[in-house]
Amino acid sequence: MKFAFLILLTASMALAVDKIKLVSTTTDLAWAAQQVAGVHAEVRSLLNGTENPHFVDTVPEFIRLVGEAHIVCLVGMELEIGWMPKVLSRSGNAQVQPGGKGYCEVGSAVTPLEKPTGAIDRSMGDIHPAGNPHFWLSPKALAQASTAIRDALVRVDPQHLADYTKNQQALAKSLEDLHQKNMARLAPALAKLKGPAVIEYHKEFTYFFDAYGIKSFGSIEEKPGIPPSAGRIAEIAVAAQSAGVKLTLAGEYAPSKTLERFSELSGIKAERLATSIQPKGKNKGYIEFQNSLVETVLAALSLN
Amino acid sequence: MLKNRSLLILFSLVCFSQAARPEAAGTGLQISVAGDIVGNFLGTADNRLLPREGEVVLYAPIDQTWDGALNLAAHNEDGEYKFEIHELTIGSSRLIPRSRFKVGQYFLGVGRLNQTHRHDWPFTSAPKVQTQFLYEEGVNDTGAEYSYLWPTPFYLDLTLGITNGWTFGHTHDEGKGPVLPTHYLRLVTYNDLFLDGGLQTGLNYLGRKDSSGNNTSLFGLDLTAKWREAQTLTFLFQSELWYRIYSPAAGDVENTIGFYAYPQYGFSPSWSLGVRVDGYSVLNSKDAGGNNVGSFDYGLVPTFSYKASEFSTIRASYGVKGRLSQGAVSNTEHFLELQAVFILGSHPAHDF
């Protein structure tokens, strides 16, 4: 009996060791990575979905987790530039640093939106030269990103290539189905609109709007990452009201006083929403999270 | 001579900046320039605003194995601006698993302030414990440093280093070969705190015996706790406590303790207010008659900071410092400091 137990224990330990350890920066990438990796990987996200991924400290615990990882997936497009380079180098883990086979910058697989042209500098705010990095709010863009996750898994664990390929295809199909379903829900309401229906605080819903053909009036921020001045709030509030905008979308971490002032001046309702999957509440999985975003827009258009 | 040297350095920098233009992309070369302008007023200060330091940092992967960094700084020393190498290292975090190491000249990896460039400090000037034990600008020297991330279920990072030790602190002379080179270690761990906060704790040791046989041992504890809500660092607590045993080749051993504690509250992403409390005491100080004369040097420095972005800071501090000895307060001094810091170009990601 003891012998059998030892065999079982050894076997389970061997299985545990065989599993790929994949660490992602965001919960959305973790979700996609788990879908692609299936049973072959243990996936963990450094962030929990409530943070603003632009502004995160180099938490030592992140260094520990990355030090043990076989694959590290980042959004890329300079979203995590303020903290991940230090996490990666301090981990002393060559495999997951740029150039290593476990380094996976998924943004490189996505068709970028709002890629700046011409000269850029910091007087223009927090501009990302590679384009807007908030792509995961579009199911289509997340499907594109999942190919980079698949490629990283295949590089590290080529023996399961067939599984990873099959899983990535299944994920892409499910995301396409989700997109089609929500498109059908939104289409009648959007067809009745003549102008832009929404405005965002920071341009983090841009890919979501693009995926569903939702016309946006722009952002309350005049320059990305720079809190708007009182003058800018007043100016954009009047303009958005005149254009018939019905809803303001903002991340949960957007400044509440700014949003309140904007709503007061424009009469446009502001919704502070999760911008990533979260461990608790109604946004536990990507499908729930995406449906929740769609329902918020539908409710604002009074056609739900 | 100095002018010629400075011009040569500037010329080299221009060449480097040209190399970093987009058409030279693919080398990974990053260039960062920091400007630090400080004014000291009231008390014994010279009541004027001056550039304290201009710093140029270049860093990049050298190849698939090595990383290189060069940090050049020009700073005001008694009215003269001296351009010098602060750091020049070759190292790697990709060669030995779970390890980082570097060889060259660098600020020693002990404590908190010693490893952080002055323009990145949350306050303007150094607390007394820093200026007395590790000097205003910190201790840099040439040697080798190795760090290892332990495979534990919690964060545990050990740094060991040894440097020439011909000089200690910021000097411009060559120094003399020590009896025992400067050697140090640092052990760091991290704990999650309530409300998504975190605490980093570092234990430090540094020792050396100079050419005259004077032995210095430093033992330190540093704490950094942070709570962040989105873009706002809502609360920061930073503190270091150091104990020094100085054993001269001839004479009595001197035991000294010093600390600073800096809590800071962030009202918004831009505005924050902190108060630094300093303490410093020679524990076995004696008068001419050999009697113990305990004294305690204190400082209280409220600091108000405005950050338009992570690349600029305007700061104002109004502080008081003095000495408590045998129940009497002496050497009281009030001071006002103004500071403007800016960063151009790239800026390396910060540690916790």
- pLDDT tens digits for B177-223? 999 999 999 999 999 999 889 999 999 999 999 999 999 999 999 99
Give the distance between the most distant pair of CA atoms in chain B: 72
CATH of domain B96-345: 2.40.160.10
Q: Let me know: does B33 contact B341? Beta carbons within 8 Å.
A: no
Residue B327: the pLDDT is 83
Residue range A247-262: average pLDDT? 94
**Could you give the percent of chain B with pLDDT greater than 90?**
75
Residue B2: the pLDDT is 44
Residues A275 and A230 in one domain: yes
Residue A215: the pLDDT is 95
Q: Which is it for strands A247-251 and A269-273: parallel, antiparallel or unpaired?
A: parallel
Contact pairs from chain A to chain B, CB under 8 Å:
107
How many CB atoms within 10 Å of residue B256?
Answer: 19
Closest chain B residue by Cα to residue A51: B230
Is residue A4, in this structure, part of any structural domain at all?
no
Residue range B211-236: average pLDDT? 95
Residue B62 has pLDDT above 70, yes or no: yes
Higher pLDDT, B56 or B1: B56
Residue B13: the pLDDT is 59
Higher pLDDT, A17 or A18: A18
Closest to A275 measured CA to CA, from A264, A267, A286: A286
- At B54, which helix (H) or strand (E)? strand B48-61
Whether B155 and A60 lie within 8 Å, measured CB to CB: yes
Residue A13: the pLDDT is 46
Residue A279 has pLDDT above 50, yes or no: yes
Domain that holds residue A295: 173-300
Residue B170 has pLDDT above 80, yes or no: no
Cα–Cα distance for residue pair B182/B204, rounded to 1 Å: 13
Residues A80 and A204 in one domain: no
Q: Both tokens of residue A280?
A: 């608790």
Residues A29 and A82 in one domain: yes
In chain B, domain spans:
96-345
Residues A167 and A184 in one domain: no
Residues A177 and A191 in one domain: yes
Residue A56 has pLDDT above 60, yes or no: yes
Contact list in B for residue A254 (CB cut-off 8 A) is 230
Residues A144 and A189 in one domain: no
Q: Let me know: does A190 contact A213? Beta carbons within 8 Å.
A: yes
Residues A209 and A140 in one domain: no
Q: What is A30-73 written as a DSSP string?
A: HHHHHHHHGGGEEEEESS-SSS-TTS----HHHHHHHHT-SEEE
Residue range A179-204: average pLDDT? 94
Closest chain B residue by Cα to residue A123: B309
Residue range A192-206: average pLDDT? 93
Residues A185 and A136 in one domain: no
Is residue A118, in this structure, part of any structural domain at all?
no
- Residue B82 CB partners (closer than 8 Å, separation 6+): B2, B74, B75, B172
CATH number for A230: 3.40.50.1980
Residue range B163-171: average pLDDT? 90
Residue A153 has pLDDT above 90, yes or no: yes
* Interface with B, mutate which of A79, A90, A229, A272 (most B CBs under 10 A): A90
Question: A6 falls in which pLDDT band (50, 70, 90)?
Answer: very low
Question: A27 falls in which pLDDT band (50, 70, 90)?
Answer: very high
Residue B17 has pLDDT above 80, yes or no: no
* Interface with A, mutate which of B146, B231, B238 (most A CBs under 10 A): B231
* Phi, psi values for residue B194, rounded to 5°: -60, 160
Residues A143 and A199 in one domain: no
Is residue A104, in this structure, part of any structural domain at all?
yes
Closest chain A residue by Cα to residue B190: A60
Of B231, B310, B311, Cβ closest to residue A52: B231
Residue B23 has pLDDT above 80, yes or no: no
Of the listed ranges A190-199, A232-241, B314-323, the least confidently predicted one is: A190-199
Of the listed ranges B23-32, B137-146, B263-272, B317-326, the least confidently predicted one is: B23-32
Residues A165 and A179 in one domain: no
Domain count, chain A: 2
Of B93, B200, B268, Cβ closest to residue A60: B200
Residue A1: the pLDDT is 47
- Residue B279: strand pairing partners: B259, B298
Of the listed ranges A5-9, B171-175, B316-320, the least confidently predicted one is: A5-9
Residue B78: the pLDDT is 76
- Final residue in a domain of this structure, among A172, A192, A211: A172
Residue B350: the pLDDT is 81
Residue range B246-261: average pLDDT? 95
Residue B16: the pLDDT is 56
End-to-end, the C-alpha distance of chain A in Å comes to 61
Higher pLDDT, A225 or B46: A225
Residues A155 and A269 in one domain: no
Contact residues, chain B to chain A, C-beta under 8 Å: 61, 64, 67, 93-100, 147-149, 151-152, 154-155, 157, 188-190, 192, 198, 200, 226, 228-231, 268-270, 309-311, 348-352
Question: A9 falls in which pLDDT band (50, 70, 90)?
Answer: very low
Residue B190: the pLDDT is 98
Residue A93 Cα, gap to closest chain B Cα (Å): 6
Residue B296 has pLDDT above 50, yes or no: yes
Residue range A211-225: average pLDDT? 95
Q: Let me know: does A280 contact A171? Beta carbons within 8 Å.
A: no
Closest to B260 measured CA to CA, from B301, B313, B199, B314: B301
What average pLDDT does chain A have? Answer: 92
Residue A173: the pLDDT is 98
Residues A180 and A231 in one domain: yes
Is residue A1, in this structure, part of any structural domain at all?
no
